Structure 1
């Protein structure tokens, strides 16, 4: 999946997160801002990285503004932002685990 435009999903309300995605050539960068980074930063990064891998994203920039979201919320927000950023017309539902 190729990121062709900027996209946003989510909110900055409690127990949610906002995902911002933009195209970038040659690299995949994940930036995480979280109130609970010391406790859960590596778990957040792991969920984001797994979701990007499942959706075959290899380059772009992903910025996470976390407010204590659960893994399932992180995954859903990243998937939504990716589908918007790729301007996906045909969705591979099997990739959305």
Structure 2
């Protein structure tokens, strides 16, 4: 699916993550900032990529600011950002959960 609009989910509070999705032109591109980048950077990216694949998004610019979010929080924020970017706020795809 193609991203229709830039969308954001999450906050910059402790134990949260902010994800901004916008249209991309060269696959999935990440701009990731995290205090735990060395330990969990790959896991954060993989969790977000899995959600993007579930929504059939294959081209996007993903800006991520992590403040120590756990995996379920990362997944929830990614799902919300995808639904907003695809303008599906009122018709959630429950099967991706």
TM-score, reference length from structure 1? 0.91
Please state whether the residue corresponding to 1:19 is helix, strand or coil: strand
Q: CA shift at 1:26, angstroms?
A: 4.1
1:42-94 deviation line (CA, Å, top 9, x unaligned): 11111111111112110111111000000000000011011111111432211
Partner of 1:91: 92
Q: CA shift at 1:15, angstroms?
A: 0.3
Q: Could you list the runs of 5+ residues in structure 1 that have no partner in the other structure?
A: none
Determine whether 1:23 maps to 2:19. no
Number of corresponding residues: 96
Please state whether the residue corresponding to 1:30 is helix, strand or coil: strand
1:11-68 deviation line (CA, Å, top 9, x unaligned): 0100001001111234221221101101111111111111111121101111110000
TM-score, reference length from structure 2? 0.91
Please state whether the residue corresponding to 1:2 is helix, strand or coil: coil
Aligned CA RMSD, in angstroms, stands at 1.2
Please state whether the residue corresponding to 2:31 is helix, strand or coil: strand
Q: Could you list the runs of 5+ residues in structure 2 that have no partner in the other structure?
A: none
